[in-house]
Structure 1
Amino acid sequence: MTEVRTFTNPVIPGFHPDPSICRVGGEYFLVTSSFEYFPGLPIFTSRDLVSWQPLGHVLDRESQLDLTRAPASGGIFAPTIRHHDGRFYVTATNVSDRGHFIVHAEDPAGPWSDPVWVDQNGIDPSLFFDEGHVYFTSNIEPDPAGPHVADPHFERGIQQSLVDPLTGAVLQEPRFIWGGTGGRYPEAPHLFRRGSFYYLVISEGGTEYGHMVTVGRSTSPWGPFAASPHGPIVSHRSIVSPFQAVGHADLVTLPNGDWWMVCLGVRPVGQWPRHLLGRETLLAAVRWTPDGWPIVGERAVIEVDQTRPALPAAPPPRHVVRDDFDAATLGPEWAFVRRPMAPEAILARPGWLTLSPRTGLAERFPCFVGRRQQHYDFVAETRLVLDAREDGDEAGIAVRMNEEHFYALGLRRAGAAMEAVLRTRLGRLDITSVVGVVEGPDVVISVEGSADSYTFSVSDSSGRVARTQPRDAKFLSAEFAGGFTGVFVGMYAATSSAGSGTVARFDWFDYRPAPRASSHGQLDREDSCHVAAGS
């Protein structure tokens, strides 16, 4: 009996939007946006386009990445990765700093260079190497928004220049090249060459439920570009599908000449659609029509289950349940909000993650270390030992969309006692309620997630368990909270006094997807660390 060679989308679940891809020999590399989280630009590698292993991050030093002024869903937008003459290049936009930049590396695992900046407005930059030229393509928008104050005929669309990718110097001034097919917010351009044509793939409709991927072609990289007569390459607008808001695509060719696409999509749940996991990375085969236009499938729709690429299958990624914090650095799944914490501080005590808070959880620079929620059904759990020096200081576990939308269950000092408190922050609504009094500073705190709710619990050394009522998950969805990111779950510590001296130590952290949610990788139920132990 012949085995059906299929895979299941998304290939990278959880908040991994705006994917860009390139191939070097038989290996594929992919980067995604990271917004206000540090380190920036997660990078993955694969040999079969289906099983993606994390390599780390492109931007992992403060000299590369300044997010101090980034609001929620600000920071790093829409990267592109390309390889040329033995060197990798990544371009993206830091919308909260100096705009477009380019970094390069000989090894995609790093180190990557400090950024060089490109003087071109807009967002969503892309690089295209062709016949000795480096084309730098991005969107262009009126400033201020709406009809341009200086030129009422100003068009929103795609612009392009020539650059030196090692210095960022603009060698030929930007030129408007295409306005798209009529959808709003033409953006996310990528230029490709096939035969005698140049293809300009863009997204239209905004990164929301009207999203789609369109294409124009020309015999010149400068246009004029004619739109495909077959309509969008992919569009999930107004169709019944588990995936919605599908767009922001990049293409790659296999050694046999097949073309494949990566793009983003969301998986809404509920009668009134909402999504918590953020925009995820999808994969789809691209076919070419007899008259030379790319399209996905027969209906420009991405299916959940598809035939695998014509590549040897690689082992699925392994989901490690427990991080024991035994390594010298945190694994690539962990992230900070805007500003990193030094490994020598948070990992100073072997086998523990140590947090010393100076602010509250709702501040711009919270003492929070989190990982992406990648499944609707999951359990996250941690052991906490809290040395709280002042009343009101606390630490625990939080599910966080942004600083104005989160739930957190923490252990808090209240005089000589310790109490478990639930913090609910939903915009202007900010409520803290006592869940129960616990014995001692050593507790296990957990959160169970589903498509509808988050339920927290805490157990102390006596075995006593306090459990909250389910909290409505929809209030952390992008439809309610706004923004471009997804929910993170992780450990936090908080204080109202920067010099309190409170220390929170976390012995381990578990993240367990529900068995039915583990189809995107093997679930390792042993207590082991995600990364090899450091010296």
Structure 2
Amino acid sequence: MKKLLLLMALLYTGYSYGQITFTNPIMAGFYPDPSVTRVGSDYYLVNSTFAYFPGVPVFHSKDLKNWRQIGNVIDRPSQMTFFGDRTSRGLFAPSINYYKGTFYMTCTNIDKRGNFVMTSKKPEGPWSDPVWLPQVRGIDPSLFFDQDKAYIVYNSDAPDNKPLYPGHRTIRTFQFDPVGLKVVGEEVQLVNGGVDISKKPVWIEGPHIFKRGDWYYLCAAEGGTSVNHSQVILRSKQATGPYVPYEKNPILTQRDLDPNRKDPVTSTGHAELVDGPDGKTYAIFLAVRPYEGNHYNTGRETFIAPVKWVDGWPIINPDQKEVQYSYTADFKEVKQIAPPQSGNFAYRTTFDKKLDQSLLFLRTNDTSWYRLDKKNGLTMRLLPETCMGLGNPAFIGKRQQHLTGSASTEMTFTASQPNEKAGMLIFQGEYNFYYICKSIKDGKQVVQLYKGNRTTKGMDLIVETPVKVKTLQFKIEANRGLYNFLYAESPGKWKILKDNVDGKFLSTETAGGFVGSLYALYSTSSGENTKSTASFKWLDYSGNDPIYKQK
């Protein structure tokens, strides 16, 4: 009996020994600007969330493959909100560190007071209120702890605010007081322009300093977070420089590869290096998966690749030119009880107890407009705010994590006025979305499909059809650059409302900005007050990318 219990315990905790296989991206969908830190045998990861709330998710792993969300750094409106911010504004590029029993998260609120630091004794929180750092002028701050000193390093303006060319930036540092949470002394410039200013490098950013042996390394992104993105490395004998660049930079890029190659991974950069359980170095970085040209709807995602040290310099992805969809390593896998984040998967989110930590609101979480219960699931009040505004609409989103897949829900709602609408969005930004919803027209309940319109700052009706039931199911299917919108008046008996709708409209290339697409449950009274509500029983998600079937 004891042997059986031991076997069951081992299976439950998910320990396996031997070779581990990473599947890229390790965090699929809109999980950009990763930062990772190691504390003993534990790894913690954070990502940018821009104007979504809660802000800066915190993930835990034992093996760099299986990640479980344990909290959010910004989960209280009293810490900050993002009213007035468009979806691609708000929080840029967090960094997580650990020092003497305290976790530190540094970040940039791009349009509101700039850079700040927050702390917690536990990575899952609660995290402190922000402490603002007005002297740290720029973006992408991160901390480096060096024995008895600490430093904050960041992207900043060109020297004397006189750029020699567009995109001319610097990397700078202050000494940092980790107890008083303030900068100390004078600002020091570490890098001007990039690796070689004579070549006019742009957007040196996302810097991290670490020490290996007798060398201090400065690892940063260069080229801008698109197809020319890259990672570069410099080193010095002192934390404050002077830093000398590696003569074979960049240490990671995909910009020189054939853009027409099959299943490309592009825009690689914004990396942070970390030692794995096997003692070898790995890079955690962002990249994207375009389905045509530079069109991708899943946003910038979190990837992993091995690192090889050559003559004292780290080389990311040393054995191939192309970033791979899978890598292997010789250490044990430690699975977690958590929703999957990589490869193909499907699961149902229910709303009987509490909201999943990965679900996103726009700009804040106001609990007054929704409730959860086992019978009805998620019940939303229809709010006057819309997803086209800069407030807090009745919107709860889940990231699109696959190029090919679907999301569906069951909704109970009866509209009393044409301005009342409830249903599902596929949402990239304020005017780059499609909305399948139930409403009323000429006294009859209808299902409608709308498309956002940036020119009119509204949305255009594409198609509508009458329905007779109070409870409907909606489904949105993604197939790379095309989307299908379906509804069912009886469970599972799907009817196509509109198929082969242009998905490039939802891509970053078309919409601009830095975020990925979300499937969202959304209800609105379109600027007018109402007491009407809509209830959503569940949210199903399924991802089925062909690339993973080939493995």
Q: TM-score, normalised by structure 2?
A: 0.88
Q: Which amino acid aligns with 1:304?
A: Q
Q: TM-score, normalised by structure 1?
A: 0.90
> 1 CA distance for matches of 2:34 and 2:452?
31
Q: Report what 2:142 is aligned to.
A: 126
> 1 CA distance for matches of 2:39 and 2:111?
32
Q: Report what 1:99 is aligned to.
A: 114
Structure 2: runs of 5 or more not aligned: 1-16, 341-345
Shift, 1:280, TM fit: 0.5
Compared CA separation, residues 465 and 47, structure 1 to 2 (3 A): same
Q: Report what 1:368 is aligned to.
A: 395
Q: Report what 2:239 is aligned to.
A: 221
SS state of the match for residue 331, structure 2? Answer: coil
Compared CA separation, residues 258 and 515, structure 1 to 2 (3 A): closer
Compared CA separation, residues 476 and 155, structure 1 to 2 (3 A): closer
The C-alpha deviation readout for 1:179-235, integer Å capped at 9, x for no partner, is: 221321111100010111100001100001000000111101111110001221111
Q: Report what 1:442 is aligned to.
A: 471
Compared CA separation, residues 426 and 300, structure 1 to 2 (3 A): farther
Once the two structures are superposed, the pairs formed by residues 457-472 of structure 1 within 5 Å of their partners are: 457-461=486-490, 465-472=495-502
Whether 2:49 is the aligned partner of 1:24: answer: no
Q: Report what 1:432 is aligned to.
A: 461
Once the two structures are superposed, the pairs formed by residues 338-357 of structure 1 within 5 Å of their partners are: 338-342=363-367, 345-347=370-372, 351-356=376-381, 357=383
Q: Report what 2:8 is aligned to.
A: none
SS state of the match for residue 370, structure 2? Answer: helix
SS state of the match for residue 360, structure 2? Answer: strand
Whether 2:202 is the aligned partner of 1:184: answer: yes
Is 1:235–1:300's contact at 8 Å kept on the other side of the alignment?
no
> 1 CA distance for matches of 2:221 and 2:122?
30
Once the two structures are superposed, the pairs formed by residues 369-408 of structure 1 within 5 Å of their partners are: 369-408=396-435
> 2 CA distance for matches of 1:153 and 1:501?
51
Q: Which amino acid aligns with 1:217?
A: R
Structure 1 stretches of at least 4 aligned residues deviating more than 6 Å after TM superposition:
143-146, 152-155, 517-521
Whether 2:247 is the aligned partner of 1:235: answer: no
Shift, 1:134, TM fit: 1.4
Q: Report what 1:286 is aligned to.
A: 307
Q: Report what 1:158 is aligned to.
A: 171
SS state of the match for residue 55, structure 1? Answer: strand
Q: Report what 1:505 is aligned to.
A: 535
Shift, 1:128, TM fit: 0.4
Compared CA separation, residues 505 and 230, structure 1 to 2 (3 A): same
Is 1:40–1:65's contact at 8 Å kept on the other side of the alignment?
no
> 2 CA distance for matches of 1:354 and 1:95?
33
> 1 CA distance for matches of 2:376 and 2:490?
20
The C-alpha deviation readout for 1:329-382, integer Å capped at 9, x for no partner, is: 210221011121317833267541111122223222332111100001112111
> 2 CA distance for matches of 1:154 and 1:380?
39
Shift, 1:509, TM fit: 1.2
Equivalenced residues, count? 514
Q: Report what 2:11 is aligned to.
A: none
Shift, 1:518, TM fit: 6.8
Q: 1:264 aligns with which of 286, 311, 321?
A: 286
Compared CA separation, residues 146 and 378, structure 1 to 2 (3 A): farther
Whether 2:323 is the aligned partner of 1:303: answer: yes
> 1 CA distance for matches of 2:158 and 2:248?
29
Is 1:45–1:55's contact at 8 Å kept on the other side of the alignment?
yes
Structure 1 window deviating more from structure 2 (43-52 vs 134-143): it is: 134-143
The C-alpha deviation readout for 1:478-527, integer Å capped at 9, x for no partner, is: 00000000000011001124422221111111111127477799xxxxxx
Q: Report what 1:526 is aligned to.
A: none
SS state of the match for residue 171, structure 2? Answer: strand
Q: 2:349 aligns with which of 314, 317, 323?
A: 323
Q: Report what 1:43 is aligned to.
A: 58
Q: 2:296 aligns with which of 266, 275, 286?
A: 275
Shift, 1:324, TM fit: 2.1
Q: Which amino acid aligns with 2:434?
A: Y
Q: Report what 1:473 is aligned to.
A: 503
Q: Which amino acid aligns with 2:53?
A: F
Is 2:254–2:321's contact at 8 Å kept on the other side of the alignment?
yes
Is 1:410–1:420's contact at 8 Å kept on the other side of the alignment?
yes
> 2 CA distance for matches of 1:74 and 1:206?
16
Is 1:116–1:166's contact at 8 Å kept on the other side of the alignment?
no
Shift, 1:238, TM fit: 2.1
The C-alpha deviation readout for 1:466-486, integer Å capped at 9, x for no partner, is: 521321101110000000000
Is 1:101–1:168's contact at 8 Å kept on the other side of the alignment?
no
The C-alpha deviation readout for 1:53-103, integer Å capped at 9, x for no partner, is: 111211111122221132231000101111111111111111122111111
Q: Which amino acid aligns with 1:452?
A: G
Q: Which amino acid aligns with 1:220?
A: Q
Q: Which amino acid aligns with 1:467?
A: L
Shift, 1:425, TM fit: 1.1
